[in-house]
Amino acid sequence: MGTYSTAKKQERAVLVGVITPDETEEQEREYLDELAFLAETAGAQTIKMFMQKLQRPDSKTFVGTGKLQEIIEYVQAEEADMVIFDDELSPSQLRNLGREFKEVKILDRSNMILDIFASRAQTAQAKTQVELAQYQYLLPRLTRMWTHLERQRGGIGMRGPGESQIETDRRIILDKIALLKEKLEKIDKQNATQRKNRGELVRVALVGYTNVGKSTILNLLTKSEVFAENKLFATLDTTVRKMVIQNLPFLLSDTVGFIRKLPHHLIECFKSTLAEVREADILIHVADISHPNFEDHINTVNETLKELGARDKEMITVFNKIDAYKGEGDTTLSLDEFKSTWMAKHNSPAIFISAQNKVNIDNLRKEIYEKAKAIHLSRYPYDGLLYNMDYVVESDDQQE
């Protein structure tokens, strides 16, 4: 008797990007590499990347007619399962591409991020936020992304003023969006009460691009076991841990990672999750120094923080993964040269660590302690416990 494999077949994806005048081919290739990482995180295998230089994406089919035909022929020949575009597609682009590719799934960057968020959401809050974002994405695209949401049947006994199927689906989705917003408001009120119950402890939040090692740092500093892996958006729900350094207690939180081209409606839906960022006293901005485009990542995070109204907070910049640092491009700066260059350029201190190898972690603890202590004493100037207490730096080997 034959045996049958029950393993789910990995879907094969083709990626498509446009190189506009304000970006280089190298930058677009890096964006597509990130899109491939998103696809891999969602469970798909990238088999080919296509790029085309255009003034702007084609309003009808994203890429030009010739390039589109080339992609269609490749997809048919290789029997790819999906085509993923590195920007959010408009409803008309989605509709036109659907006609061209027929049975092949058409996805865009926003779609991929939403899919990953849906698979990662654990708490009621995160699940509600993702569902709300999915419905808001779906609403203008109903003509293409047909859904059977409680379809009304026609026939005997069902005749009347009625409405078209798409209007029915749109009304149902609008009702669901309203219900989800109500549910989120209730969850937000509960969370606000919890935050009040934590008292007036100093609050520190880890922020940064996705997959820079924030959860690993949280685990290291608080001796927790928060889930961490080398995939995008491994952390979706905000994790808060109480931490004590020397004689100073404070709260440390890990937040969802940011990413380029994060859908605006997703930022809106996740603003309640990111309340920890807005209400934090100190932000620890973690960057992956081993990534060739870490400066772009830093800019993306700063822009998102600005959108959240949290850009001007007390900040500690932390460069993680120094063990994997290889230098910058052709200049190949040593780590020491980069440190001095960065300090001179930005006129602000930074801490260089390896969370994986536990290098320089105690200097990070010291910096957090000094900043948290200053805020604590400004709130409680007569707290005698903190007077005349100096942070003693141990070697990482002794500490760990």
Please report, in range form, the residues annotated as the binding site for Mg(2+): 215, 235
Pairing of strands 248-254, 239-245: antiparallel
Q: Which residues of 2-16 are buried (b: 16+ CB within 10 A; e: fewer)?
A: eeeeeeeeeebbbbb
Could you give the CA distance from residue 127 to residue 336 in angstroms, rounded to a whole number? 44
Neighbours of 44 (CB within 10 A): 23
Q: How far is CA 272 from the centre of its chain?
A: 15
342 closest CA partner among 289, 300, 302: 289
List, as residue ranges, the binding site for GTP: 208-215, 233-237, 254-257, 320-323, 354-356
Residues 6+ apart with CB under 8 A from 31: 17, 86, 260
Using CA atoms in the order 176, 178, 184, 186, what is the torsion angle rounded to 10 degrees? -120
Nearest to residue 101, comparing CAs of 128, 79, 134, 86?
79
Give yes or no for a contact between 233 and 270, defined as CB atoms under 8 angstroms apart: no
Q: How far is CA 223 from CA 210, 215, 220, 281, 365, in A?
A: 21, 11, 5, 22, 13
Binding residues: 208-215, 233-237, 254-257, 320-323, 354-356
Whether 173 and 149 have beta carbons less than 8 Å apart is answered as yes
